[in-house]
Structure 1
């Protein structure tokens, strides 16, 4: 079972690590897009969200306070979902559909991250982690 959970953690964080890398290597382009979506101080937002994604993903991947890492992912996903993917304000049907897909994906990932938080904070024997949970839910 430990190996299955580890494989799941690896697969789960690939998206976040690659996205965080993009936040750091394409900061100006991402900040321009964030600015077009009305995000205040977009460059700082891009760097902050990239940092939270990287920290959260590495925490989940390595099993270093994985519960906190999952919570960091929730913290970055929820505002991003509602600030960056406002499909309801799009007039072009293709843009609306694309934003709706991204909105639903981010919302689902936030839900999965919240479940991971609860899982890591509740299970005593996580296996194949460096530390135990920071939080303890009973």
Structure 2
């Protein structure tokens, strides 16, 4: 039972002999009144305009594209343009054409490629030729 006391005495003698390096300073937690800590956000109780709302004015909102050409502002060149459209056949277009072929209506095989509901439409800027968006069928 004397072993714990002997260990304590050895530790105390090692500390007093300055064998161990200096210990770091004690940790003191910062309190909310400490000026170095940021203050929590406060609620806007007086219905004042939010200053961060002004930053949202430059956000580009999503556009609902349609199959025909549209007038809008190009996000690349910032010009007000009437979009140039290109129709692109999809898997649905090819499947409809194959179905018409297999049903022996081969004279109508080009019909899905002409119908607007079977093609995707991509919108491009006529000034800078950048892709603006698309309409998916």
TM-score range (shorter-chain normalised) is under 0.3
Q: Which has the larger radius of gyration?
A: 2
By relative contact order (CA 8 Å, sep 6+), the higher-ranking structure is 1
Structure having the larger proportion of residues in strand: 2
TM-score after normalising by structure 1? 0.22
The structure that is helix-richer by fraction is 1
